[in-house]
């Protein structure tokens, strides 16, 4: 039986890479060096709100986004980051770990013959550093640096549509806001990797499939 899809693309941070662990660890470590104690949940809550706002203001490199987001998160939580210290996030990013199911899933999909890609809100060199964690190379990557835009804007998806050249394509991502919504708006099949077990969906957006992790996505594709 013919496969439904030939190409699978992924968001990277939050889908393949445990960015919450990376962000939380970077903030707590940098704050502790300044003698400040931060609540981990508050860090992630503030980060989730502030980073998209920074990205929406004007296009700049992801290093700049990380630095400005760090500064604003610290300010909101009562930690004044000294000028020049905001780079701790971009410096930590290459060490952010993959989820435990990431490499097994990538290998399964590659062996099954799928072409694999990444659509990521990041700079080229930062993604290249992250890709050292993966067990195999991707067929293509599309970054914010390349398209001069941040998801949920549509530029990543339009560029990927060109790269897939009419092949049957599925996008897979954890972020509803950054990935599922814009993909659905463009009529691109999209798998929501619901790692957090969220219960409520917007009434007007329906993913093609909802799975709890990447292993479950592989199982679904094999059925």
pLDDT of 121 reads 98
Domain ranges of the chain: 7-18+97-222, 19-95
Q: Is the dihedral of CA 5, 177, 19, 132 positive or negative?
A: positive
C-alpha–C-alpha distance, residues 200 and 195, integer Å: 14
Check if CATH label 1.10.150.750 holds for domain 19-95. yes
Enter the DSSP assignment of 13.
B
Q: How far is CA 150 from CA 8, 41, 96, 144, 147, in A?
A: 20, 25, 20, 6, 8
The CATH class for the domain spanning 7-18+97-222 reads alpha beta
pLDDT tens-digit profile, the chain (223 residues): 578 999 999 999 999 999 999 999 999 999 999 999 999 999 999 999 999 999 999 999 999 999 999 999 999 999 999 999 999 999 999 999 999 999 999 999 999 999 999 999 999 999 999 999 999 999 999 999 999 999 999 999 999 999 999 999 999 999 999 999 999 999 999 999 999 998 877 778 899 999 999 999 999 999 8
pLDDT of 204 reads 82
pLDDT of 113 reads 96
The helix (run of H) or strand (run of E) holding residue 7 is strand 7-10
pLDDT of 137 reads 97
pLDDT of 136 reads 96
């Amino acid at each position: 039986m013919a496969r439904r899809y030939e190409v699978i693309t992924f968001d990277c941070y939050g889908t393949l890479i445990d960015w919450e662990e990376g962000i939380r660890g970077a903030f707590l470590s940098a704050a502790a060096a300044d003698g400040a104690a931060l609540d981990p949940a508050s860090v992630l809550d503030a980060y989730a709100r502030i980073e998209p706002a920074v990205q929406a203001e004007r296009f700049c490199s992801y290093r700049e986004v990380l630095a400005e987001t760090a500064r604003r998160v610290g300010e909101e939580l009562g930690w004044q980051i000294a000028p020049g210290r905001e780079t701790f996030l971009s410096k930590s990013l290459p060490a952010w770990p993959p989820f435990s199911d990431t490499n097994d899933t990538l290998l399964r999909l590659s062996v099954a013959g799928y072409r694999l890609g990444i659509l990521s809100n990041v700079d080229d060199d930062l993604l290249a550093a992250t890709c050292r964690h993966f067990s195999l190379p991707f067929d293509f990557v599309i970054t914010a640096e390349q398209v001069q835009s941040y998801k949920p804007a549509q530029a990543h998806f339009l560029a990927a549509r060109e790269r897939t050249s009419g092949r049957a394509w599925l996008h897979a991502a954890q972020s509803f806001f950054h990935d599922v919504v814009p993909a659905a708006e463009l009529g691109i099949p999209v798998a929501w990797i619901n790692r957090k077990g969220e219960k409520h969906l917007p009434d007007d957006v329906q993913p093609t499939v909802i799975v709890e992790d990447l292993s479950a996505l592989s199982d679904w594709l094999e059925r």
